[in-house]
Homo-oligomer: A and B are copies of this chain.
């Protein structure tokens, strides 16, 4: 008894001790002891012993997580028992591994839980009060354990639980744009977690924590390498390294995927061609797949970026994307692997509208792909802008599973130092109505397969994790990793609920903190849109590194890499005419959508300049002219950041000093850079509109020439 009290005490006091520095490493798996005495007592009553077999690595991981989590949250070391011996048993397992679970009458619930889901139920076992965490698969048990711990972390009632959950999407993936030299393209959190030099011989314990974090939100796959791919990653030497990582991730239900460079048969295979219809090429890919599965029996498959931004691809040989994807798919099929073929492509010629290209190239191929090919489509038709309309391919390829690709890393959203909670962006696109099968044909239903009856489904998030101690470059950026995982599990979850969970698991249940932080987070994406690209503007950033504004950029390797290509501002007005009088990109949407977007009176103002070229004196819903509205939005974005700063200052003392200071400093950077965006854009557009600044607009600190002259060097992620 004394021993137990001592351990408890140590755990309680840990939170204030230097060894437990709040550096963000714990993420949402922060198991500090519950501060609310009643919640603590409730949880201690519900959890008094653990009954969980440990006959496999996955079940051991589940048991270890329960011990770690409950040890921290309850400040108690719970005994592990063979069988239920007291009230408060936590019984976890599969029917085949746990006789206690097998004896329960939960067959119907387990049926609903499916292959990866779980059941959590308050019940009695051997006459004692117990909480059962049951699943058909071991990874389902692990997911259930994380869910149960989150219930405790977030202060939920625990006495009469009856939860059945199953993921609505099958492939829930992080895409790492990590290079073999450990730089990360568009990475703002340090460098790649994969220490290739020491692999496969040394397995950094951080790999395990990475797997824990992903499993806790249901992510079940990770693409280790950059879509701008390097054939070296498919050599025997590097496959051994990937296999070592796969070994660490396997107990957590996470499969490893690799990017495949389409020209690998030439570069590392010694062939003269990579023509997908050449039998030698097909054989090479088959042999390569066999080699990989010999090392990684549960290898997930290939992600491919082909014929896009200079990457090689089947079009180099006059073949189609389907030809290219299928040769890889055939190689993987015997082993159960899949190909994710990216629709983010554009042809060598400058197009009339880059936004139309993916649809133009891929929609006609619907039905031409092997069953184990998924087409990976970005949320919008251009490139991860602060706001885009949903991609018109969603709903337009009923015979081809579409993976939604979201960007978690903030390439166009201020990098890691801007607090921009992305769940509202994700939610916006997932809940958009494609009208593919009439009203209520949501993008989420395309992605989860229910609209078209896809046999395979997927969601991919471009990772924002790196070697930074806090994983994502900032504490708040981790909320985007969390949000992605939760939405990949259930694309219909709401942003507010996700924010609530994340705040409570990351900062605790202090209600005086939860509400204001939630308000900050939920408003933050609209703030970024306002100070960067309001009213449907897009692609206004500086060239190359995408850090800071560059609306004046008018020269680049391609016209569609300039800003003027997109905003088309002149003395009369601004915006890209994508209606029938322009590029007619609206026609790629189903008619009810196209009619609204194509009508300047009906299009949501948030997308006005995406679809229309509008006069500066166009009257907005507010009664203001477009010019005044535009300037007002830029100002509103800055004002919103300042309100976030004020909110955060009001929380000093409610957050540990280390994380408080990080967020404070980063918000100051964000405010400075929001002003930079506002002033650079407003001054530039004013040089075209010639209109005076409306009242309420803060004068710019410098003139336009100053902003145009800014050159940023050694920007990370490039």
Q: Mark A644-682, 1 if CB is under 8 A from B, else 0.
A: 000000000000001000100110110010000000000
Hey, which chain B residues are within 8 Å of A467, CB to CB? 190-191, 467
Contact A202 B666 (CB under 8 A): yes
- Considering only residues 694-713 of chain A, those with a C-beta below 8 Å from chain B are 713
**Which of A12, A17, A415, A672 is packed against the most chain B CB atoms within 10 Å?**
A17
Tell whether A68 is near chain B: CB-to-CB under 8 Å: yes
Closest 3 CB pairs of A and B: A19-B20, A10-B13, A202-B665
Contact B6 A9 (CB under 8 A): yes
Hey, which chain B residues are within 8 Å of A658, CB to CB? 205
Contact A7 B14 (CB under 8 A): no
Bound form: Cα–Cα A341–B14 in Å: 49
Bound form: Cα–Cα A13–B13 in Å: 10
Contact A180 B714 (CB under 8 A): yes
Tally of A interface residues using CB under 8 Å: 48
Hey, which chain B residues are within 8 Å of A10, CB to CB? 9-10, 12-14, 16-17
Hey, which chain B residues are within 8 Å of A666, CB to CB? 202
In this complex, what residue of B is CB-closest to A657? B205
Q: Mark A482-521, 1 if CB is under 8 A from B, else 0.
A: 0000000000000000000000000000000000000000
Contact B13 A198 (CB under 8 A): no
Hey, which chain B residues are within 8 Å of A417, CB to CB? 198, 201-202
Bound form: Cα–Cα A44–B668 in Å: 45
Contact B19 A197 (CB under 8 A): no
Q: What is the count of identical protomers in the complex?
A: 2
Tell whether A350 is near chain B: CB-to-CB under 8 Å: no
Given the known inter-chain contacts A196-B714, A202-B665, A202-B666, please indicate yes or no for A9 contacting B11, CB distance below 8 A: no
Tell whether A596 is near chain B: CB-to-CB under 8 Å: no
In this complex, what residue of B is CB-closest to A206? B469
Hey, which chain B residues are within 8 Å of A205, CB to CB? 21, 23, 658
Tell whether A716 is near chain B: CB-to-CB under 8 Å: yes
In this complex, what residue of B is CB-closest to A19? B20
Hey, which chain B residues are within 8 Å of A191, CB to CB? 182, 190-191, 467
Contact A18 B68 (CB under 8 A): yes
Bound form: Cα–Cα A11–B10 in Å: 8
Hey, which chain B residues are within 8 Å of A190, CB to CB? 190-191, 467
Hey, which chain B residues are within 8 Å of A714, CB to CB? 180-182, 196-197, 232
Q: How far is the CB of A62 from chain B (nearest CB, A)?
A: 17
Hey, which chain B residues are within 8 Å of A277, CB to CB? none
- Considering only residues 217-265 of chain A, those with a C-beta below 8 Å from chain B are 232
Tell whether A715 is near chain B: CB-to-CB under 8 Å: yes
Hey, which chain B residues are within 8 Å of A669, CB to CB? 198, 201-202
Q: How far is the CB of A72 from chain B (nearest CB, A)?
A: 8
Bound form: Cα–Cα A467–B189 in Å: 12
In this complex, what residue of B is CB-closest to A72? B18
Given the known inter-chain contacts A10-B9, A23-B205, please indicate yes or no for A182 contacting B665, CB distance below 8 A: no
